[in-house]
A and B are shown apart, each in its own frame.
Chain A
C-alpha cells in the first residue's frame, strides 16, 4: 500500500499518526507574511540571537569565572609573564592560543551588537507605524522587555572578560547600584558580596547571569513574543485593495516565504562570521588586566551603552542631600533613572496614545508615519533626546579627534537635550501635516484625471 508513496508523504503520515500535528503544520505552512523590508528587522534580531547562543556555548567551554591571580604564558608576547586573573587569562588564551577561538569570540561580540541594533530598529518600525496598537500591546511590551534584558546581558558579557574595560564598566555599575536611593548601599553589597571589586564569588554570579538567567529570560520572552505574533497575525501596510483590517494578504510560509527567510538567516550568519573573522572588535589584550587603580579613556563600551555614559556625564555635579543623609547620589540620575524613564515612556506609550485619541479599535493595518503626526513627532522627539545623550557620550572622542573643548560640548549638550526634542517635535509634526496635505491634493488630482479618462469612454458606449 504505502510502498508506492514517495518518501515525504510517508513522513507526513508518520508525523500525523504519532503527533496529530498536521492541522497545525498545515496552518503554519500557509501562514501569511505580508511583504515589506522593514518587517525583516525582527527576524535579523532573532537570527543574531541564535548566533549568540551557538557561539556563546563554545566560549563557555573555555572561559574560567575566577579572579584568582595567575601568571600568563601564551602566544600573546606583550602580556607573557604578567599577573592577571584566571578569567582574563582564559579569554586571552582563547583569543591567541585556541584555533577558531578568536573567530567565535569576535563573532559573538558582533552578534551582540547586531542583536541590540536590530531590536532597536525593529522597535522604531513598530512605533512609527503604530503596530503596537490593539491587539498587539502585549507583543510590544514583551519585545521591549527583551531589549531591556539585552542591554545588561551585553554589559555582563564584556564585564566577564576582566580586562581594563570590564573593570571600569563594573566600577560604574557598582557606583550606579550604590546610588539607588535608600537601599543602594545594601543592594550593592548584596550583589558584589563586599565593597568593590567585590567578593570572588561575584564573577560566578555574573557568569551564571550571563550564560543562564538572562538568556533563558530572553528565550522565554522570545517564544511568547513569536507565539503572540503568530496568533494575532502580522500587521500589514495597505498596498493592495484586498488588504483590509479583516484580511491579511502576503506570501505564505510554504513555498514562498520560507526560502526567503532561510536566505536571510544565512545572510545574517554569513555577515556575522565575516565580521568576526575580518573586523577586529574589543581587542581585550590591548586593554590589559584590570586593576582598581587604573582607568583609560581609550577603551569604549559597546554603542548600546553609550547613552548611559552620556547621561552619566551630562548630569551636573550634585548629590541630593538632607543634612548628612544622601537621598540621591549623582550616578542614579543618568545611570538608573534616565533609562528607566525612557523605557517607561516607550512601554506605556500604547495606553497613553489610546487615552489621548480615545481609539479603542483593533488595528491590523499599519499607519505610515505621516498618518499620525503627533505620534511620529513624539517618537522623533524622544529619539532625539536619547540620541543626543548618546552623542554626548562621545564628546571626549570629539575632543581628542577635533580639539573642540569638552567642557563647551557638555554645556551645549545640556542645553540641546532640553531644547532639541521640542524643536524636533514641532518640526516633525509640521512635516507630517504637510505630507498629508500633499497626499490629499494628489488624491484629488488623480480622481479628476480618472474622471477625465472616463468621460470620452462614456461617449463610446
Chain B
C-alpha cells in the first residue's frame, strides 16, 4: 500500500520535473503553455465518470429486465462516451497550446511530371505501330471484360421475359381469401373492397392478388367487349399498381355522392387512382396504364365467384413489352405455391 502512495506522489511531483527537463532542451517544436492542474483534475474526473458509466452498461446488461434494458443501455453507453467526449474537449481547450501552425500548400513538381512523361515516352520508343497495338489491347481487354461479365446472365432469366406475361389466373379459377375460403357473389357488398387470390396458387406472386368491388351495374362504363366481365356489378382488378408495383390498399368511397368524387382504387405509395367503373382507368396520379381487369363469372350452382378468363393485360409495373398484351396462364407456378 505504501508503495502505491509513493508511486502516486511521484506521479504528481513528476509533472513539474518533466516540464523542467523539456524547458532545458533548447528550441521547441510545440510552443510552450502554462500548466493547469485544475483542468487536469477536471479531465480526470470526467474520465472517471466515463468509466463509471461503462461499468454501469455492464451492470445494466446483467441485471436490468429485458423490456426496459434498451433505454438504460443507451443511457449508460451514451453517458460513457459523452463524458469521454467532454474530457477530450476540456483537454484540448485547457491542456494543449492553441497554436497557429503554418504549412505550405503543395506545389506541383514540373520536374517529376516531366520525368514521368519521359519514362512513358522512352519506354515506348521501340514500338512503331502504337495505335494498332493500343487498339488490339483494347479489343482484348473489352473481350475479356465481356467474357467475365457473361456468368452474370445466370442471375435470372435475362433474355426470357416470358415470365412477366404469365398469370396464375385462368377461366374457372375460384376466387379465395388468404385462408383459401372461396368468395361467393353474395359476400361482396358495395362500399368496400375485398382481396382475393386464385385457388391453390398461393398469395406471394405479384399476379395473384386481385381487388373485388361491387358497384351499381347501371354506373359501369366498361368497353363493349367486357360487357359480361362484371356479373351483378362485381368487378375484379389486379391488386398491384401499374405504376410501381405496390398493392392497391385504399378504396375511396364517397360518403355523400353529390359532392364527393366517385369510388376509386388508390395505391398508398404514390397515390395512383383508378376508376373501377371505367375498366380501371387512371383518374389521378402517376400510373401510365389502367389496372388489368379480370373477367368474373358466378357459379350458377354454388354462387361462388370464378375467373371468367385471363387478365386484360400484364400485371404490375410497366416495362418495354408491357403493351404487347399477351397474358397467358401458367399451368403450375414454380414460385409461391406452398
Spell out A's residues near B (CB within 8 Å): 30-32, 69, 75, 97, 99-100, 102-103, 106-107, 168, 171-172, 174-176, 178-179, 181-182, 184-186, 188-197, 199, 205, 231-233, 240, 242, 245-252, 254-256, 259-260, 262-267, 269-271, 273-278, 291-297, 309, 312-319, 321, 324-327, 329-331, 334-335, 364, 396, 406-407, 410
Q: Which residue of A lies closest to B50 (CB)?
A: A266
Cβ-defined contact, A277 with B78, below 8 A: yes
Contact residues in A for B338 (Cβ distance below 8 Å): 69
A315 to B209, CA, bound (A): 26
Cβ-defined contact, A256 with B92, below 8 A: yes
Known A249-B102, A327-B320; contact A313-B271, beta-carbon cutoff 8 A = yes
Given contacts A189-B156, A254-B30, 16 further A-B pairs with CB under 8 A are A30-B103, A103-B69, A103-B73, A103-B77, A175-B244, A178-B319, A197-B205, A242-B100, A251-B98, A252-B101, A264-B85, A266-B84, A316-B286, A326-B319, A331-B286, A396-B271
The minimal Cβ–Cβ distance linking B247 to chain A, given in whole angstroms, is 4
Known A178-B317, A263-B89; contact A99-B69, beta-carbon cutoff 8 A = yes
Cβ-defined contact, A293 with B267, below 8 A: no
Contact residues in B for A269 (Cβ distance below 8 Å): 81
Cβ-defined contact, A249 with B268, below 8 A: no
Spell out B's residues near A (CB within 8 Å): 29-30, 61, 66-67, 69-75, 77-82, 84-89, 91-92, 96-106, 152-153, 155-161, 163-164, 166, 178, 195, 197, 203-209, 239-240, 243-250, 267-272, 282, 284-289, 316-325, 335, 338
Contact residues in A for B270 (Cβ distance below 8 Å): 309, 312-313
Cβ-defined contact, B319 with A245, below 8 A: no
Cβ-defined contact, A277 with B75, below 8 A: yes
A197 to B155, CA, bound (A): 15
Cβ-defined contact, A293 with B239, below 8 A: yes
Cβ-defined contact, B288 with A270, below 8 A: no
Contact of A175 among B29, B91, B178, B317 (CB under 8 A): B317
Contact residues in B for A318 (Cβ distance below 8 Å): 288
Contact residues in B for A309 (Cβ distance below 8 Å): 269-270
Contact residues in B for A291 (Cβ distance below 8 Å): 203-204
Q: Which residue of B lies closest to A320 (CB)?
A: B288
The minimal Cβ–Cβ distance linking B335 to chain A, given in whole angstroms, is 6
Q: How many A-B residue pairs have CB under 8 A?
A: 301
Cβ-defined contact, B323 with A325, below 8 A: yes
Q: Which residue of B lies closest to A364 (CB)?
A: B105
Known A189-B157, A266-B84; contact A277-B73, beta-carbon cutoff 8 A = yes
Cβ-defined contact, B70 with A102, below 8 A: yes
Cβ-defined contact, A313 with B286, below 8 A: yes
Contact residues in B for A265 (Cβ distance below 8 Å): 85
Cβ-defined contact, A251 with B99, below 8 A: yes
Cβ-defined contact, A317 with B103, below 8 A: no
Q: Which residue of A lies closest to B282 (CB)?
A: A317
A174 to B240, CA, bound (A): 12
A266 to B246, CA, bound (A): 42
Contact residues in B for A189 (Cβ distance below 8 Å): 156-158, 160-161, 163-164
Q: Which residue of A lies closest to B99 (CB)?
A: A256
Contact of A260 among B72, B92, B103, B323 (CB under 8 A): B92
- A to B CB contacts below 8 Å, 30 in the list: A100-B73, A103-B73, A171-B246, A172-B245, A175-B244, A185-B164, A194-B157, A233-B105, A248-B102, A249-B100, A251-B100, A254-B30, A255-B96, A255-B97, A256-B92, A256-B97, A263-B88, A266-B84, A267-B81, A267-B85, A273-B74, A276-B74, A277-B74, A278-B75, A315-B286, A321-B323, A327-B320, A330-B287, A331-B317, A410-B271
Q: Which residue of A lies closest to B154 (CB)?
A: A190
A275 to B74, CA, bound (A): 7
Cβ-defined contact, A325 with B61, below 8 A: no
Contact residues in A for B243 (Cβ distance below 8 Å): 175, 312, 317, 330-331
Cβ-defined contact, B195 with A293, below 8 A: yes
A328 to B236, CA, bound (A): 27
The minimal Cβ–Cβ distance linking A190 to chain B, given in whole angstroms, is 4
Contact of B286 among A75, A100, A205, A312 (CB under 8 A): A312
Cβ-defined contact, A196 with B316, below 8 A: yes
Contact of A172 among B61, B97, B269, B325 (CB under 8 A): B269
Contact residues in A for B69 (Cβ distance below 8 Å): 99-100, 103
The minimal Cβ–Cβ distance linking A175 to chain B, given in whole angstroms, is 3
Cβ-defined contact, B205 with A195, below 8 A: yes
